[in-house]
Structure 1
Amino acid sequence: MTLPAVPMPVASEPPSAEPPAGPGWSDTPLRIVGGIVAVWAGLLAAVLDLLFATWAWEVVKGLTGGLAKGVVGTSLAVGGIAAVVVLTVLLGSFAHTAVGTRWAAALPALPWFVVIVAGSVRTAEGDLALTGDNVLGLGMIMAGAITFAVLGFRQLVAPPVR
């Protein structure tokens, strides 16, 4: 008993023994621009995080009444922390895609940390963007730092793309 032959497609060209060409010099300027955009986006994200944390904390402190303060404060805290996590994941993903290296997640993380630390240090005039009683700001800092750490760790332990 013989089985019928299965039709197989015929390739027009034999497969090449050479590996596919990797990124060449032609995409280097785009990778550099992507890295610069990632750094500026990290800087902008940190400034927006500090501004939102300061504004939201003043709104919560200015409210009177237990229920209104609890509902508004909780919704601002949850929304702010969720926004920081989403923004941080988007920044890390953009940096990795734009630059194409494993260490690219550090590009938006470094300016983010610098701005956050600068916002928690009192200036010569006595200004302070992030006070010690600003629980929302501290939660946003923790959420952003942990998210950047997880993104960096995932990029480092991921198997290389072939």
Structure 2
Amino acid sequence: MTAPETVEQQQPARAPREPWHGWDTVVRVAGVVVAVIATLVTAVFELELTTLRSGGVSVLRNGESLWTSGGFLIPIAIPVAIGANLVIAWFAVTVTGRRWALGPPWALWTLIMLAAAGTRTTEGDYLLSGDNWVALVMILTGSLAYAVYSYRMILKPVAAKATDSGLSGSL
């Protein structure tokens, strides 16, 4: 006598469903959107850090704002700009799988910095003054971070071909 058939044995096996092919596009668009939002947030944060001065820590203990103090400029915005821009560039290219994804965050960051450097307040002051060396170096190095990442992406196929052909030792 045989055992009664279970429910799994009575139903014919179904082939696994194919995943929807549109997910690739959704992930690419979402990756670019996240990279653009991250660029917007970090650019504003970097601009705020350009005016941070050494006296800010002492007035913070008194309950005052970091930006109302004196002292020398602290160049913390420079490494933050370099690191954040490299991470955003890596994220955009890695998530989308496309090199063009580097363009929107780079363009947005550059436009925000140019707008901040060229915009006057209602009192006639510039948002980023010409005597704020931290802001000027941050704009230069932040844009160079995107440029260096882009340049390294351009060189990647050349480096792979050079090692495949055995020319890497002779260069």
Answer whether contact 2:121 2:127 (CA < 8 A) is retained: no
User: Among 36, 42, 47, which residue is 2:44 paired with?
Assistant: 47
* Counterpart-to-counterpart distance in 1, 2:78 and 2:29: 30
Greater CA radius of gyration, 1 or 2?
Answer: 2
In 2, distance between residues paired with 1:85 and 1:118? Answer: 19
- Which of the numbers 29, 35, 38 marks the counterpart of 2:35? 38
Higher relative contact order (CA 8 A, sep 6+): 1
The TM-score with structure 2 as length reference comes to 0.65
- Quote the residue 1:26 is aligned against: 23
2:114: which partner in 1? Answer: 117
Corresponding residue for 2:149? 151
Q: Structure 1: give runs of 5+ residues left out of the alignment.
A: 1-23, 64-68
Per-residue displacement from partner, 1:72-127 (whole Å, max 9, x unpaired)? Answer: x4xx21x3211211111111111111111112222211110010000011336124
SS at match of 2:102: helix
Which 4+ runs in 1 deviate beyond 6 A?
A: none
Provide structure 2 residue ranges, at least 5 long, that are not aligned to the other structure: 1-20, 57-66, 161-171
Q: Is the 8 A contact 2:47 2:77 kept in 1?
A: no
Deviation string 1:38-65 (CA, Å, 9 cap, x unpaired) is 11211222111111113349959812xx
Q: Distance in 1 between matches of 2:140 and 2:154?
A: 21
Q: For residues 13-53 of structure 1, what are the alpha-carbon distances to aligned partners after superposition, in whole Å with 9 as ceiling and x for unaligned?
A: xxxxxxxxxxx532210110111111121122211111111
Give the total of aligned pairs: 127
Determine whether 1:99 maps to 2:96.
Answer: yes
Name the aligned partner's letter for residue 105 of structure 2: P
Cα RMSD (Å): 2.5
Partner of 1:135: 133
